[in-house]
A and B are shown apart, each in its own frame.
Chain A
Amino acid sequence: MIPAAFEYHRPTDLAAALATLGEFGDEARVVAGGHSLIPMMKLRMAEIGHVVDLQDIADLKGIRIDGTAVWIGAMTTQHELIGHQGLAAAAPILRETALQIADPQVRYVGTIGGNVANGDPGNDMPALMQCLDATFTLAGPNGSREVAARDFYEGAYVTLREDDEILTGIRFEATGGGQAYEKQKRKIGDYATAAAAAILKKDGTSCSAASIAMTNLSDMPVWSKAAGDALVGTACAAADIDAAVAAALGDISPNADNRGPVEFKRHVAGIIIRRAIEQAWARA
């Protein structure tokens, strides 16, 4: 499978990348690891006149942790996330999630920026970013702006990023708590049939804060405030978790596809959300 012809650009700084996007408008697309974009180009489902490769832009790389403040450059690969000791201590759920994405070869090149910016409902990082209440930085022709992960997604492949903007980095506060990402997939390399991220904080025997988000159970990632609210102030007993699962299921609208009909997806979602909550609580 050979993609349609395109012009290739490899700028060495962000300004040059933005200038290229500005020049070619919606004919241009940035490529990070390329493992979402290139298959679509090979299938000729995406025709891109100008590919702007971000690999040489040093400002988009790296992981910085300053106290509880974490910044991750958009071009940081899943492999780099997995291997970063500071990050594993600050927010272990990132490593747990990244390890469940695709396979080793894909994780060497797949980036966190591509994963969150693409807007594919099957990508795992968007729900995790909502669970963490992360903020994305978007650079455009008129400077940078920040958008909360919980506001960024509008539908499948539709986000608040404009065509002439590049997602440059992600920041969030690593405030601890018990964390878990649970994912059901048919096989290695598949997207989730259902996946859920949970972060729970414990004060004595009761839950003092809870954040629950889900992957591939709607056209976009779903952060369920109601599920979190159902747990706060409780001891996360069986009935409390039942209530949280029911609340989370109330916030999703899965689509039937080759992973199963809607009923099956809701069934799997219920199990996965429960596992994520139980695991996070056990770790809190």
Chain B
Amino acid sequence: MSKMHLKLTVNGEAHELLAEPRELLIHVIRERLNLTGPHIGCETSHCGACTVDMNGRSVKSCTVFAAQANGAEITTIEGIGAPGALHPLQEAFREHHGLQCGFCTPGMITRAYRFLQENPSPSEAEVRMGMAGNLCRCTGYQNIVKAILSAAAEMNTVKEAAE
């Protein structure tokens, strides 16, 4: 089966590669681009560990063919913050103990990153609805919700100070 020429912009960087159409986006991201932040959890589009931002939408990259992503702009957890320059969401997850084993965390934060752009001042109930596609099996959701609410407040304070 012939390979396709794919162009992807990932974390602001342009990539060109050859891939079979059946390759899943998560495999291209992890194995070709060596960005191992997004995780493979359930592989059945339930758990959200593989969440990346694609063209301004949170998607489960285990259920997207790389071919469908041809031409897309993608952000992974690696593009959201970096060691020494953490995103407010990353700081808040650390501060509020929003992770334990950490497996779900890249997906959680990548989803929360998009959610807060759509709803910068959410209620607790809205956070729970907005994060409903990401499962955590150890910390529980209480501290994850707390972290996202705290990050939202922090980001709003920074935005107001800048205006």
Contacts and interface: CB of A to CB of B under 8 A. Distances in A.
Contact of B68 (A2, A3, A55, A189): A55
Given A7-B1, A34-B68, A105-B58, A2 B22 contact: yes
A105 B60 contact: yes
Contact of A103 (B23, B43, B57, B132): B132
A8 B65 contact: yes
A79 B21 contact: no
B122 interface: no
Interface string A7-37: 1101000000000000000000001001100
Given A7-B1, A34-B63, A104 B132 contact: yes
Contact of A39 (B59, B63, B68): B63
B21 A7 contact: yes
Interface string A219-232: 00000000000000
A252 B75 CA distance: 46
Contacts of A108: 57-59
Contacts of B111: 104-105
A270 to B, nearest CB: 27
A171 B133 CA distance: 30
A151 to B, nearest CB: 31
Given A103-B133, A104-B132, 15 more contacts: A2-B22, A2-B24, A5-B21, A8-B67, A34-B68, A35-B45, A38-B65, A42-B24, A42-B44, A53-B67, A103-B48, A105-B59, A105-B133, A108-B59, A109-B64
Contact of A189 (B22, B59, B130, B133): B133
B45 A51 contact: no
B63 A79 contact: no
Contacts of B24: 2, 42
Contact of B57 (A51, A79, A189): A79
Interface residues of B, number: 31
Nearest to B1: A5
Contacts of A237: none
A228 B3 CA distance: 55
Contacts of A46: none
Interface string B44-67: 111010010000011110011101
Interface in B1-16: 1-2, 4
A39 B62 CA distance: 9
Nearest to A99: B129
B111 to A, nearest CB: 7
A201 B92 CA distance: 49
Contacts of A7: 1-2, 21
A1 interface: yes
Contact of A34 (B22, B64, B115, B130): B64
A42 B61 CA distance: 13
Contacts of B44: 39, 42
A78 to B, nearest CB: 11
Nearest to B44: A39
Contacts of B124: none
B95 interface: no
Contact of A104 (B23, B63, B130): B130
25 contacts: A2-B23, A2-B24, A5-B22, A6-B1, A7-B2, A7-B21, A34-B64, A34-B65, A34-B68, A35-B45, A38-B64, A38-B65, A39-B44, A39-B45, A42-B24, A51-B65, A102-B133, A104-B58, A104-B111, A104-B129, A104-B133, A108-B57, A108-B58, A108-B59, A109-B64
A262 interface: no
A4 interface: yes
Contacts of B21: 5-8, 51
A271 interface: no
A-B pairs with the 10 shortest C-beta distances?
Answer: A103-B133, A8-B21, A5-B1, A108-B57, A105-B133, A8-B67, A188-B132, A103-B132, A3-B22, A105-B58
